[in-house]
């Protein structure tokens, strides 16, 4: 039985279904999608946000680098506030994944919750999928900030700690080197093939210990200590960073033939337009710095470009 939550969801869906097709469909309700929803709704555009659930942002235990929150804010609170703000201006947010996206004349036709949705423009804010290390309890450890994903986000909170970086290629070297800004005790645990590590000399030069071995166990001890083991030996670290990378959630764009960048993210121009006219992208799915502030900035640029393109198509611009 779904109870009250199910009732609210049904009410929300009924509301979404009763509205005419949106002018703009936003795919993804993370920081990028929700920021664009607020901008477009305030440009008085009919906006539908398809919310595929569990944005990357919901994993953030406590963010200290989001402008305006000097004492930090959790990922859940950020998303709650952004959702409330978008809905305040009548953006419609509908739980569900966009299953397919096709061209339809000058616009697009998407499948969402078993029905067709037509839109004049589409913004992809679908984010990326993290490649987590294959360790027991890793999700719980991320929630407790013992296993971390992003040193740009929270390297400051690693000052003077014993830090391990799990890598399988030179990305691990770069991440370990980045963390030397914060700690002299940085160890790279290389779990990939030997030939994938080409920058070993650089590690020695900047004083990073290298361990080459698969990890076979992880223990969370108390609130802070993470212990990793390989070959029966244990080493204890305060924190572990995973440098195993991400994959962009870009299947819908690929299906439309959108151009990808060298690192397989979506390629966009200065207005966040993909190579497919009317298809825009913002946030982690686009090549760049995976940060909430960046996702928000790209979403603001995309939303403004979409609004202006629609005004132009309607002959409402002054040359």
Q: Would you tell me which residues interact with ligand FAD (CB under 6 A)? A: 27-33, 50, 52-57, 59-60, 63, 65-66, 97-98, 125-127, 130, 142, 149-150, 153-154, 249, 252, 283-284, 290-293, 295
Torsion of CA 24, 25, 29, 35, to 10 degrees: -10
User: In the complex with ligand FAD, which residue's Cβ is closer, 78 or 191?
Assistant: 78
The three-class DSSP label of residue 125 is coil
Distance CA 109, CA 243 (A): 37
Taking alpha carbons only, the member of 213, 105, 260, 237 closest to residue 162 is: 237
- Kindly state the smallest distance separating residue 126's Cβ from ligand FAD, in Å: 4
Taking alpha carbons only, the member of 191, 189, 184 closest to residue 206 is: 184
- Kindly state the smallest distance separating residue 259's Cβ from ligand FAD, in Å: 19
Taking alpha carbons only, the member of 144, 131, 227 closest to residue 187 is: 227
- Kindly state the smallest distance separating residue 231's Cβ from ligand FAD, in Å: 29
User: In the complex with ligand FAD, which residue's Cβ is closer, 173 or 302?
Assistant: 302
Distance CA 199, CA 93 (A): 46
User: In the complex with ligand FAD, which residue's Cβ is closer, 207 or 257?
Assistant: 257
CA–CA–CA angle 138, 140, 144 (5° rounding): 110
- Kindly state the smallest distance separating residue 287's Cβ from ligand FAD, in Å: 12
User: In the complex with ligand FAD, which residue's Cβ is closer, 203 or 290?
Assistant: 290
Give the burial class of 57: count Cβ atoms within 10 A of its Cβ; 0-12 exposed, 13-18 middle, 19 or more buried. Answer: buried
- Kindly state the smallest distance separating residue 211's Cβ from ligand FAD, in Å: 24
User: In the complex with ligand FAD, which residue's Cβ is closer, 123 or 203?
Assistant: 123
User: In the complex with ligand FAD, which residue's Cβ is closer, 112 or 197?
Assistant: 112
* Phi then psi dihedrals of residue 273, to 5 deg: -85, 135
- Kindly state the smallest distance separating residue 177's Cβ from ligand FAD, in Å: 20
């Amino acid at each position: 039985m779904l109870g009250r939550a199910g009732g609210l969801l049904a009410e929300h869906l009924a509301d979404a279904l009763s509205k005419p097709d949106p002018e703009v469909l936003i795919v993804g309700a993370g920081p990028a999608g929700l920021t664009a929803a607020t901008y477009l709704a305030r440009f008085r555009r009919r906006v539908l946000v398809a919310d595929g659930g569990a944005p990357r942002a919901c994993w953030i235990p406590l963010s200290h680098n989001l402008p305006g929150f000097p004492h930090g804010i959790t990922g859940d609170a950020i998303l709650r506030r952004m959702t409330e703000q978008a809905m305040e201006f009548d953006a419609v947010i509908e739980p569900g994944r966009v299953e397919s996206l096709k061209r339809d004349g000058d616009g697009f036709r998407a499948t969402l919750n078993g029905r067709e949705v037509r839109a004049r423009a589409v913004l992809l804010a679908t984010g990326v999928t993290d490649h987590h290390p294959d360790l027991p309890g890793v999700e719980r450890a991320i929630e407790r900030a013992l296993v971390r994903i992003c040193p740009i986000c929270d390297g400051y909170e690693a000052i003077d700690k014993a830090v391990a970086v799990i890598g399988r290629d030179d990305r691990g070297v770069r991440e370990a080197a980045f963390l030397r800004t914060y700690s002299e005790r940085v160890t790279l645990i290389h779990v990939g093939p030997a030939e994938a590590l080409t920058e070993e000399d650089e590690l020695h030069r900047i004083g990073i210990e290298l361990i080459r071995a698969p990890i076979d166990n992880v223990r969370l001890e108390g609130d802070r200590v993470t212990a990793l083991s390989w070959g029966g030996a244990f080493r204890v670290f305060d924190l572990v960073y995973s440098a195993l990378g991400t994959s962009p959630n870009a299947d819908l764009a690929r299906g439309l033939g959108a151009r990808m960048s060298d690192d397989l993210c979506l390629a966009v121009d200065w207005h966040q337009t993909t190579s497919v006219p009317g298809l825009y992208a913002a946030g982690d799915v686009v090549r760049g710095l995976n940060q909430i502030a960046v996702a928000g900035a790209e979403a603001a640029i995309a939303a403004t470009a979409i609004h202006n393109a629609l005004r132009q198509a309607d002959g409402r611009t002054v040359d």
